Amino acid sequence: MEGMTRGELAKQTGLSMAAIRYYEERGLLPAPRRVASGYRIYSDDYLVKIKFIKDAKSLGYSLKEIQEGLQMLSQDMDEELLKELVRNKIMEIDEKVKKLHGMQRMLSGLLETPQGDIQNYLRSFRTLDD
């Protein structure tokens, strides 16, 4: 028997068997071949694909984006198209960073709000019965 069982693949990749099954069900991983006994057998290609999925997730890609990326990679993908996708992701990350900095400035400003203003603000949420 050439290849790995799902359990062996899970050990080698650090994913749970349930995660591997989930990725198969979502179409991120192709269905593995089965041997006569019914066991699923995974080739070494699955190690590469799972590394790609894990790396892409750590870079902030959604599972949908990862699936689309895997589909594009399974075809003849142009190097410039890949670079364009990466540039777009960088721009998306830059926008998120700008928004987070804005939120940080707003929260820092709230810390400098006079205590009386904070107390008045908090009172506005209390019922009249208090």
User: Which CATH entry fits the domain spanning 1-76: 3.40.50.11540, 3.20.20.70, 1.10.3720.10, 1.10.1660.10?
Assistant: 1.10.1660.10
* Residue-level pLDDT, tens digit, the chain, 130 residues: 589 999 999 999 999 999 999 999 999 999 999 988 888 999 999 999 999 999 999 988 899 999 988 988 888 878 898 899 889 989 999 999 999 999 999 999 989 999 999 999 999 998 776 5
> What amino acid occupies position 43?
S
Distance, CA of 97 to chain centre: 17
What integer pLDDT is reported at residue 77 of this predicted model? 78
pLDDT of residue 74: 84
Hey, how many other C-beta atoms are within 10 angstroms of the C-beta on 55? Answer: 11
Contact of 23 with 29, CB cutoff 8 Å: yes
DSSP conformation class of 37: T
Sketch the domain layout of the chain as residue ranges.
Answer: 1-76, 78-125
